[in-house]
Amino acid sequence: MTERALVARVREHVHGFLRDLHGQGLRVPVSKQRVFLQAIEAAGPRDATELYWIGASTLTASRADLEVYSPTFERWFGAARARPVPEREFPDEEEPAPRGKGDEAPFAAAPGGEAGLEAGFSERVGRPAFGTASRDERAVLALLRRELRGAVPTVRSRRRRPARRGPWIDVARICRESRRSHGEIVTLRRRNRPRRQRRVLLLIDVSGSMKQHSAAYLRFAHAMVGCLDRVEVFTFGTRLTRVTEPLRARDVDAAVAALSEVVLDAEGGTRIGPSLQEFLGNARHVTMARGALVIVLSDGLERGDPLPMEAAVRRLSLLGHRLLWWTPLACDPAYQPVTRGMAAVLGSVDALAGVRDLRTAYEQVQTLARE
């Protein structure tokens, strides 16, 4: 067999293995497949065990993925010698420390984590496709719109309004009415400060590690913008983007589709700390957060220095009425916020809850209403 024919046969075997992984339910995006092939070329595995761990570190992102990957690898390449699973293998269990100059790994993780399972550094500029809402999602959105008004906390208005009861006498109104009765005061009119809904600030993570949940979060934001008076929505991945105006469209699919022209960093890297600091660096944005119900929808997988993220979240907590952090990882009962970013901000967060889709968001809205 010529060298060219051998290379073609090996290539077909490897691609057959990747197709089989997809057929077994392990959805590996093209970017991760590319990193896997580059790692094979760079590392030059000498046996099945080395090849196994190259694939495990580049194609899997959780222990569930590994349970699909292992038997599939064995069918295509044979059994690999046993080796303990590294404790820092998976990003949802422990976050790797940032690499400095000279620390480059032999092969890097896929930029942006397109499978929606990893946080990355790199920026992906393009037009994301958020898809359309299903019938079940539209039904949940209708329920959300009914619950949201009663779930958002209220605050006393600064302006005084005419009221039946109140601590202030409405002198101007009394004088106007007394003209009809020749100067006699018939009814003592009063003024009060009525209650109104607090401002709501939504900060939505659209990075690659949140790809599976971003569309549902944006539909939730559309429901909020449509039924509440004072809502501001921002997305962040590698940059901060205000998306309140596009979400004012009446139809949820039209509103979310319009975001593909605005949110250009979706499915890219993760820069939570710098994005939040950019928000706080704008005086107009700070006004939006002051006294507001602040909801951050993010997995909190910050790949860089967690100190900017910690400082920004602490200031957001001080500015707002309450700071809620909703993450899809917390839907797992065994979840513990042990990554450096989440461990650093946990003390500034008023409530940490699990939200991965519209139904779990509806459950959290019901919890807010009860509180």
% of the chain surpassing 90 pLDDT: 39
Strand ordering across the sheet containing 161-163: 161-163, 190-192, 168-169
CA proximity to 341, closest of 294, 319, 317, 308: 308
pLDDT (0 to 100) of residue 153: 84
* Same-domain status, 143 and 181: no
How sure is the predictor about 202, in pLDDT bands with cuts at 50, 70 and 90?
A: very high
Domain contains 118:
no
The domain of 254 spans: 135-153+196-370
| pLDDT (tens digit per residue) in 304-316 | 788 999 999 999 9
Domain contains 27:
yes
Domain contains 128:
no
* Same-domain status, 211 and 294: yes
Name the amino acid, one letter, at 169.
I
Domain contains 203:
yes
The total number of structural domains in the chain stands at 3
Domain contains 272:
yes
Rounded mean pLDDT, 183-194: 82
* Same-domain status, 187 and 318: no
CA proximity to 266, closest of 110, 133, 126, 116: 126
- In the predicted model, is pLDDT for residue 60 greater than 90? no
How far is the C-alpha of 14 from the C-alpha of 26, rounded, in Å? 15
Strand pairing class (190-192; 168-169): antiparallel
Domain contains 117:
no
pLDDT (0 to 100) of residue 149: 86
* Same-domain status, 278 and 352: yes
Strand pairing class (190-192; 161-163): antiparallel
* Same-domain status, 366 and 218: yes
- In the predicted model, is pLDDT for residue 3 greater than 60? yes
How sure is the predictor about 354, in pLDDT bands with cuts at 50, 70 and 90?
A: very high
The CATH number given to whatever domain includes residue 275 is 3.40.50.410
* Same-domain status, 100 and 3: yes
* Same-domain status, 180 and 167: yes
pLDDT (0 to 100) of residue 235: 95
Which residue shows structure tokens 């999602």? 137
* Same-domain status, 261 and 364: yes
Q: In the 8-state DSSP scheme, what is residue 206?
A: -
Rounded mean pLDDT, 23-33: 81
Q: In the 8-state DSSP scheme, what is residue 164?
A: S
Name the amino acid, one letter, at 293.
L
How far is the C-alpha of 90 from the C-alpha of 239, rounded, in Å? 25
- Higher pLDDT, residue 345 or 124: 345
How sure is the predictor about 80, in pLDDT bands with cuts at 50, 70 and 90?
A: low
* Same-domain status, 314 and 206: yes
pLDDT (0 to 100) of residue 81: 57
Residue after which a domain boundary falls, among 50, 79, 112? 112
How far is the C-alpha of 258 from the C-alpha of 263, rounded, in Å? 9
* Same-domain status, 282 and 305: yes
